[in-house]
Amino acid sequence: MTTATASVASAASLFGSLAGRVAQSSGWRRRAIACGSGAIGALALPPFSVVGLMIAPMTVAVWLIDGACESGGSRTLAAGLRSAFGAGWWMGLGYFLCGLWWVGSAVLVDAAKFAWALPLAVIALPAGLAVFPALGFVFARLLWSSSPLRIFALGFGLGASEWARGLLFSGFPWNDIGMALGANLTLAQIASLVGLHGLTFLAIAIFAAPATLSRAGGRRPGFAPTIAAALALSLIAGFGAVRLSAPASATVPGVKLRLIQPNISQGASFAPENRDAILRRYLAMSDRPTESAPNGVRDVTHLIWPESAFPFILSRDARALDDIAASLGSGATLITGAARLETNDGGEPSYYNSIEVLDRDGLRPERYDKQHLVPFGEYVPFESVLENAGVTQFVQVPGGFAPGSGPRILDVPGLPTATPLICYEAIFPVEIGDALSGARRPDWMLNVTDDAWFGLTPGPYQHFAQARLRAIELGLPLVRAANSGVSAVVDGFGRETVVAPLGVEAVLDSALPKPLPPTWQSRFGSVGAAIIAIVFLAAGLIGRRTA
């Protein structure tokens, strides 16, 4: 036996021993393995983006379900399903604890009022979300076999549960497993065909493949699945490299954008008594000379300010409207996030988180009201029950915000038609029904957001990566104005034209890129992901029949 052969044999033996120990683990040791591997997988997400670390949870998932099959075989199917559910829950807990801990920053903005909710944001939210991977493990266990095809059973079960996480209970597709690929600009290009959900199915199967290097059910370990996974990842990277080799996108003639990132912190500095100082800051930054716009706002056609730009109702403040209109005397148009108030015939108020459009003549009729509100951030679910217990939303408006309605289209004078996205609306991919609704395709996406709630944590980086993935999926440019960052203009490939880092004050001047031809994802929504899911389900069933 050569030295190289002996080394491979030794490594395979150690790998097989590790797999066996994980599969046969029980009690708190099994829970710790599941939780720890999930935590490691969270490092594959921004801002760390160590893609290969997603191998840890996906490989361990296969071995844990192998162990759940052994327990089910010696006892009952129900015991195996309980074991799989527990393993999936603990893995999900580790993944979400380490991937979403920064949510707790929001409750500390007004600590005197909301600090009591810190355990709910940091522990209860991950614990609740962990139910989805737990159910994914159960679905996989029902399809399980000793065949190498069991990685497709995991891909189908866990991928389907991640898809459900983005749809059920208003949806929360934050940090889908597919973002391990989606945060990498080259690997993310395949999303133009299969979307976020397709990335998730592919990521699970690819990163789980090394688990088949160990024995299962008396079978000899094989290299074929791992080689196939490496080949698939290489093809995905090659596809991305070819797309990104395209020349710089053409731009819309006659349009010059200016994005304002004021970096105004939440809390006292955003209090109503500081309204004048905040407005002066926006106006001064908007007219700041830069190398690309030496005459300030006079060189700009459209100003864009972020979400919740003011600690007051802009449409009800005549003095603020006059000051802004005077600053736009050169002919620029302002697009800004702002709270909006309407009253019905009975005098009852309704508040909206909106995008407003202003020019030198004042407020224009074009606007957009946010439709997908953040639970507990902008409204309280089961309000009549929870408010009696003292639970209120973080954004303090009476009764919370009301959801907008109508088409998600914004027509701004001098600009092509846009899809407006306020805050976390940008993390939701286009689903099958959305794509087939017959709505006209816009030419670009506008995302205004205020991530200052989360400070200098991974949250804003994750938010930007997910918003950028929408541009890749749909082939549409993304213009993103964020209070504290990350603000950017990206083209339909997700390439940054201009970008401002997190936690700094910045003025960004940019042209508006033109859209790419419609992608598969923009035409058909998640049909590509559904096809992958069906193939994975079929492969899992074949593995079960032939095992």
Which residue stretches of 301-377 are H helix?
A: 318-327
Domain match, 172 and 302 both: no
Instruction: Name the band, by pLDDT with cuts 50, 70 and 90, for residue 514.
Output: very high
Backbone angles phi, psi at 366, to 5 degrees: -65, 130
Does 256 participate in catalysis according to the annotation? no
Tell me whether residue 1 is in a domain: no
396-405 mean pLDDT: 74
Question: 418 and 334 share a domain?
Answer: yes
**Is there a single domain that holds both residue 207 and residue 284?**
no
Domain boundaries, position 386: 257-515
Amino acid of residue 114: F
Residues 296 and 433 grouped into a single domain:
yes
Q: Examine residue 387 and state whether it is found in any structural domain, yes or no.
A: yes
DSSP code string of 94-105 = HHHHHHHGGGHH
CA distance 472 to 185: 9
* In a shared domain, residues 264 and 214: no
Q: Does residue 424 belong to any structural domain of this protein?
A: yes
CATH number for the domain that contains residue 386: 3.60.110.10
Highest average pLDDT, of 113-127, 134-148, 422-436, comes from 134-148
Q: What is the mean pLDDT of residues 515-536?
A: 95
Pick from 190, 1, 125, 152: which is nearest to 62 by CA?
152
521 in a domain, yes or no? no
In order of 210, 335, 411, the CA distances from 415 in angstroms are: 50, 11, 7
Q: Between 27-42 and 77-100, two packed helices, what is the crossing angle to 10 degrees?
A: 40
Residue 117 pLDDT > 90: no
pTM: 0.93
The answer to whether residue 347 sits within a structural domain is: yes
Residues 273, 241 share a domain: no
Is the Cβ–Cβ distance between 446 and 489 less than 8 Å? no
What average pLDDT does the segment 484-502 reach? Answer: 97
Task: Check whether residue 426 and residue 500 sit in a common domain.
Answer: yes
Q: How many domains does the chain have?
A: 2
Q: Is 147 helix (H, G, I), strand (E, B) or coil?
A: coil
The Cα-based distances of 334 to 282, 306, 330 in angstroms read: 11, 11, 12
Give residue 511's pLDDT: 97
Residue 42 structure tokens: 């969270």
**The pLDDT value given to residue 375:** 83
Higher pLDDT, 400 or 140: 140
521 burial type by CB count under 10 A (0-12 exposed, 13-18 middle, 19+ buried): buried
**Which tens digit of pLDDT belongs to each residue from 299-337?**
999 999 999 888 889 999 999 999 999 999 778 999 999
Looking at the domain assignment, is residue 414 inside a domain?
yes
Q: Quick one: 194 and 300 in the same domain?
A: no
Pair 326, 367 in one domain: yes
Residue 125 sits in the same domain as residue 268: no
Q: Which of 370, 378, 425, 431 is catalytic?
A: 370
Residue 139 predicted with pLDDT over 80: yes
* Residue 460 domain-assigned (yes or no): yes
The lowest-confidence range among 2-16, 62-76, 211-225, 353-367 is 2-16
User: Domain check: are 283 and 422 in the same one?
Assistant: yes
pLDDT tier at 8, thresholds 50, 70, 90: very low
From the list 35, 69, 98, 307, the catalytic residue is 307
pLDDT band at residue 393 using 50, 70 and 90 as cut-offs: low
Across all residues in the chain, what is the average pLDDT? 90
pLDDT at residue 289, rounded to an integer:
92
Catalytic choice (356, 423, 431, 473)? 423
Which structure tokens are listed for 176?
């889908």
pLDDT for 46-88, tens place per residue? 999 999 999 999 999 999 999 888 755 445 788 899 999 999 9
Averaged pLDDT, 263-277: 81
Known active-site residue 514: no
| C-alpha dist (Å) from residue 76 to 31, 72, 81, 289 | 21, 5, 9, 73
CA–CA gap between residue 423 and residue 448 (Å, rounded): 6
Task: Tell me the percentage of the chain whose pLDDT exceeds 70.
Answer: 90
Q: Do 82 and 145 reside in the same domain of the chain?
A: yes
